[in-house]
Amino acid sequence: MVEKSAEVVNLLRKWSPRIARDFQSCGRDLLTLICKDCDTEITTSYSCNLRICPRCMERRTLQFAARVQDQLSKLGPIKQITLTLPQHVALDRASIKHLRTCFHKLKRDRLIKACLHQHVYFLEATPQPDGWHLHMHILFAGKYIPQKYLSRAWKRISGASNVDIREKKSLKAVLAHLTTYCSKPAHIESPERQVEFLRAVQGTRLFACCNGLKPLPKETAQVWCPECGGKRWRLCWPDDPADHVGDPRYHIYTHPAFRSLTCIEFVGDSRASPGGLALAAA
């Protein structure tokens, strides 16, 4: 697992001091949660949910795979398409938008549209010595699309003809590949590349379920109160956050997203100790 080096934190701080603090605080700072039914207090660790954080990406990939598995298991044999763009020197929002736009144009083809009736897609960016390898993986359960037909259509739209399509033998293999793709950004070796990736994808959707194929709704609290068995929690705020400027958690107290926090999300054994809890906005 890639450690949160001081170099990554310094690079993040030049871009966004708040994101740098969130990244540095993840798994380190402890917050107090109060049961909304009986006022019992427990302690949990803060999660930054950034895509370059190994701790958070491990949790998020497992969550995503679990949500998608329920949908894909109902569709029958799964096929996977990989669409690739010419290598980009730099990774930015424009290049990601271009890939997504090309895919939407591809789906307008009558044959391809019929085959991709329900699908899941995931965008992946892999660092190369002289740039970035930007590509998209599509999982679907429709009819097989001829390789040559798909390649010609993709070249006409994007200028690249590097296309792969194959049938997956099992859903388990599909999910194994899916979680590998999701967790790759957290294991980029170069700190500069990690920050470049985060700047390009921050606030951008990298995966989606389309045409009626929707992920399972997000789970609410999955830890029971040791006193009453309740599952509803609220975050314990100081009376006046301004009085806690020196507190390393001050940026969490004043973060708008966490002002609306009413529940927590627990990953793993729901009867285990509170350590490793992840916060989820309601």
DSSP letter for each residue of 32-88: EEEETTT--EEEEE-----TT-HHHHHHHHHHHHHHHHHHHTTS-S-EEEEEEPPPB
User: What is the per-residue pLDDT for 282?
Assistant: 31
The Cβ of residue 223 has, within 10 Å, a number of other Cβ atoms equal to 23
DSSP states of 134-176: EEEEEEE-SPPPPHHHHHHHHHHHHS---EEEEE-S-HHHHHH
Lowest mean pLDDT among 26-30, 67-71, 262-266: 262-266
- Tell me if 138 sits within 8 A of 117, measured CB to CB: no
What does pTM read for this prediction? 0.74
What would the pLDDT profile of 99-113 be if each residue is shown by its tens digit? 999 999 999 999 998
Q: How confident is the model at residue 213 (pLDDT cuts 50, 70, 90)?
A: low
Tokens of 247: 């507190």
| Beta-strand runs (E) in 85-130 | 119-128
| Residue 268 or residue 219, greater confidence | 219
Q: How confident is the model at residue 214 (pLDDT cuts 50, 70, 90)?
A: low
Lowest mean pLDDT among 70-74, 129-133, 242-246: 242-246
Mean pLDDT of all residues in 21-45: 81
DSSP 243: G
Find the length of the chain. Answer: 282
What is the pLDDT of the chain when averaged over all its residues? 75
Tokens of 112: 């391809």
Q: How confident is the model at residue 220 (pLDDT cuts 50, 70, 90)?
A: very low
Q: Tell me how far apart the alpha carbons of residues 192 and 181 are, in angstroms, rounded to a whole number.
A: 20
Q: How confident is the model at residue 215 (pLDDT cuts 50, 70, 90)?
A: low
Lowest mean pLDDT among 92-96, 151-155, 241-245: 241-245
User: Which residues, 6+ apart, have CB-to-CB distance to 121 below 8 Å?
Assistant: 103, 136, 137, 138, 139, 207, 208, 210
- Top mean pLDDT of 3-7, 45-49, 115-119 is at 115-119
User: What is the per-residue pLDDT for 32?
Assistant: 77
Domains delineated in the chain: 6-54+218-280 (no CATH), 56-210 (3.30.70.1910)
Lowest mean pLDDT among 57-66, 98-107, 152-161: 57-66
pLDDT over 60 at 249, yes or no: no
User: What is the per-residue pLDDT for 169?
Assistant: 75
Q: Tell me how far apart the alpha carbons of residues 233 and 131 are, in angstroms, rounded to a whole number.
A: 45
Q: How confident is the model at residue 264 (pLDDT cuts 50, 70, 90)?
A: very low
| Residue 137 or residue 207, greater confidence | 137
Mean pLDDT of all residues in 86-115: 89
Mean pLDDT of all residues in 52-65: 79
User: What is the per-residue pLDDT for 163?
Assistant: 92
pLDDT over 60 at 154, yes or no: yes
Q: How confident is the model at residue 72 (pLDDT cuts 50, 70, 90)?
A: confident
